[in-house]
Chain A
């Protein structure tokens, strides 16, 4: 187990270093500079700004400064939002995105698994067809259409929840639902397939032959085995929820980090793009690392093979 953890840790660190390095050099290869879009600035002022932010230094020196700061957890200062540090913006905005993502994740995880189990247990019955139809529709309809539908029905027509913004818990319900529906649908489908595979396994027949009650068989023989292959997907799920949350934030006017990311990419705000890219990178790599550990704990075969 120790060797397995060490191996995953090394890969994770290399990945983060690669993300930072590739992003840094690619960003600095790009034509133009972050101040060229502001037409009010004269050439002198641009030069001064370039000097101030150290952009006239040789590239390797900038890289070393960047990496040095990064090791201290400092992402630098934004060029566009004058005076604001990238760390400050992350500290201020990321909790909002994280809350949205976490709520959606916590809602979709048990529901998707539950739906999958129900569909597999009631295979061929009306409830199975209903859940499969929901799963197929849920993965075919884009997030923004789901959002618009929910807004239209629950906020505009029924007026149960506010249409947009992010002020109290009731504001978070529609965005969370929007974000969760896609992953509930995906997980229902996966869980159903996995359960159906497990149901015909020999050890399930053995359990039945031993005279175990059907609840015992489902709980300790079928579900436990069906869930294992889902664990590595949990990391991917975090990424897709992250991507989805950008869209949802935009639709529901939620002051999360998504808008900053998009604006920094389109506005050549190097430090901001770099900082956020590395931050998301660390976040996702870290999440995957933890999930790999859980996977190794749950299924001993993994750590032996790798």
Chain B
């Protein structure tokens, strides 16, 4: 087979006849085509490279890192306590002494803003991850086992999705009181249904693929098949979903605290600071602008980073 084309193409040039000595036998090991010239780039390395090249993503990530570091460390280095009242220094505008001013009870806003950042960011992260965990678990079971389990979980979701968010909020607030955990639980209650549906769809798509069947044939338990073999394939999309859900969770906390169903004083959060700020907006506008600007910048950063991450993880999803 391989010799024939060579003789055919050489035929017109009769002067230089081709002899057997023109050909050389190359042992299999020396064939250059099989050597990998460039180092192979794994999926995650490629994602990392794309993200690093994306200026918007890097700036957003920088902002997120700075705000997170401030939330962790700023309260330790602040001379004022976030919950201590000082009635001789109320509603002071920002100054060298109080960097962000003080509130109606004379509490230092610099300290309060960063303690509030802890709560808001915690809820942002927890509120993004918690519904995913529940969703992966129930969606995984539903998709993998099928049958009446699947039927039951899907009907629960059908009905559950029809119930307005406000109902869950009310019930969870009444049941667990108001605190970061109650808000995360509320978000999880609302959010798990969407992610369970999504995961179920993906499990159905993957559970009969060869590599899962091979694992099954070798005796892998259902949980191992789901978590070890199927989930890594949808991890990328889950990372995007989680990143995209963080701003939503921060928003949710802000709204709830703003209408008075969220975090209660003396504990604080950005939403609660905004609520107090908006009540004295006419006389001390900085009390609203500072937490408001922080919420906006943080959400914007998460939002833009999420978009870039989605592009990096899956070029097909670009819009």
* A residues apposed to B, CB below 8 Å: 11-12, 14-15, 18-19, 22-23, 26-27, 29-30, 136-137, 139-145, 147-148, 151-152, 156, 192-193, 196, 239, 242-244, 246-247, 250-251, 258, 262, 265-266, 273, 277, 280-281, 284-285, 288
Let me know if B166 is at the binding interface, CB within 8 A: yes
Say which residue of A12, A26, A141, A148 sits within 8 Å of B278 (CB atoms).
A148
Q: Provided the pairs A265-B261, A277-B166, A281-B163 are in contact, do residues A23 and B304 lie with their beta carbons within 8 angstroms? A: no
A199 CB → nearest B CB, Å: 12
A22: B residues at CB distance < 8 A: 167, 171
B260 in the interface, Cβ–Cβ < 8 Å?
yes
Of the residues A14, A140, A280, contact of B300 by C-beta under 8 Å: A140
Q: Is the CB of B171 within 8 A of A23?
A: yes
Asked whether B314 is an interface residue with its Cβ less than 8 Å from the other chain, the reply is no
Q: Is the CB of B174 within 8 A of A30?
A: yes
Q: A23-B171, A196-B319, A273-B170 are in contact. Are A142 and B303 (CB under 8 A)?
A: no
B299 beta carbon closer than 8 Å to chain A: yes
Contact in complex: A12, B251 (CB < 8 Å): no
The docked-state distance in angstroms from the alpha carbon of A193 to that of B310 is: 15
29 contacts between A and B (CB under 8 A): A12-B162, A15-B159, A15-B163, A18-B159, A23-B170, A26-B171, A26-B175, A136-B300, A136-B304, A137-B300, A142-B251, A142-B254, A142-B296, A145-B274, A145-B293, A148-B285, A148-B289, A156-B282, A196-B319, A243-B255, A258-B259, A265-B173, A266-B260, A280-B164, A280-B167, A281-B167, A284-B164, A285-B162, A285-B163
- B215 vs chain A, min Cβ distance (A): 32
Interface 0/1 of B259-274, CB less than 8 Å to A: 1110000000001001
B130 at interface by CB-CB < 8 Å: no
Bound-state Cα–Cα, A143 to B296, Å: 10
Interface mask (B199-240 → A, CB under 8 Å = 1, otherwise 0): 000000000000000000000000000000000000000000
Q: A26-B171, A277-B170 are in contact. Are A145 and B295 (CB under 8 A)?
A: yes
Give Cα distance in the complex from A193 to B318, angstroms: 10
Contact B166 A242 (CB under 8 A): yes
B165 at the interface (CB under 8 A from A): yes
User: What is the minimal beta-carbon distance from A261 to any residue of chain B, in angstroms?
Assistant: 8
Which residue of chain B has its CB nearest to the CB of A235?
B162
For the complex, give the distance between the alpha carbons of A156 and B282 in Å. Answer: 9
With a CB–CB cut-off of 8 A, which chain B residues contact A30?
174-175
Whether the Cβ atoms of A15 and B171 lie closer than 8 Å is no
Tell me the bound Cα distance from A251 to B163 in angstroms: 27
Which has the most chain B C-beta neighbours within 10 Å: A14, A15, A22, A151?
A15
The closest CB in chain B to the CB of A137 belongs to B300
B163 touches A19 (CB 8 A): yes
9 additional contacts, CB 8 Å, given A18-B163, A137-B300? A136-B300, A140-B303, A144-B278, A148-B281, A246-B259, A247-B255, A265-B174, A265-B261, A281-B167
Q: How far is the CB of A104 from chain B (nearest CB, A)?
A: 16
CA–CA, A237 to B57, complex, Å?
Answer: 29
* Minimum CB–CB distance for A287 against chain B, Å: 10
The docked-state distance in angstroms from the alpha carbon of A193 to that of B174 is 40
Task: List, in ascending order, chain A residues with CB within 8 A of B303's CB.
Answer: 136, 139-140
Chain A's nearest CB lies how many Å from the CB of B30?
A: 48
Docked complex Cα distance between A42 and B12 (Å): 118
Contact A140 B285 (CB under 8 A): no
**Does B261 contact A266, Cβ atoms closer than 8 Å?**
yes
Report yes or no: B174 in contact with A250, Cβ–Cβ below 8 A.
no
Chain A's closest residue to B175 (CB) is: A26
- Complex CA distance for A4 and B222, rounded to whole angstroms: 36
Q: Closest residue of chain A to B297, judged by CB?
A: A140
B54 at the interface (CB under 8 A from A): no
Q: Are A140 and B167 neighbours in the complex by a CB distance under 8 Å? A: no
Contact A262 B260 (CB under 8 A): yes
A123 to chain B, nearest CB (A): 10
**Which residues does chain B contribute within 8 Å of A262, judged by CB atoms?**
259-261
Name B304's closest neighbour in chain A (CB-CB).
Answer: A136
Shortest CB–CB separation between residue B307 and chain A, in angstroms? Answer: 9
B-side contacts of A266, CB under 8 Å: 260-261
B258 touches A144 (CB 8 A): yes
B171 contacts which chain A residues (CB < 8 A)?
A: 22-23, 26
Does B167 contact A11, Cβ atoms closer than 8 Å?
Answer: no
Q: Which of B158-206 contact A (CB under 8 A)?
A: 158-159, 162-167, 170-171, 173-175
> How long is the Cα–Cα vector from A11 to B163 in the complex, in angstroms?
11
CA–CA, A262 and B171, complex, Å: 12
* Inter-subunit contact A247/B259 (CB<8 Å): yes
A265: chain B residues within 8 A (beta carbon): 170, 173-174, 261
Give B114 Cβ to nearest chain A Cβ, in Å: 19
The 9 A-B residue pairs with the shortest CB-CB distance, nearest first, are A145-B292, A15-B162, A140-B300, A284-B164, A140-B299, A141-B296, A246-B259, A262-B260, A193-B319
Quote the shortest CB–CB distance from B186 to chain A (angstroms).
12
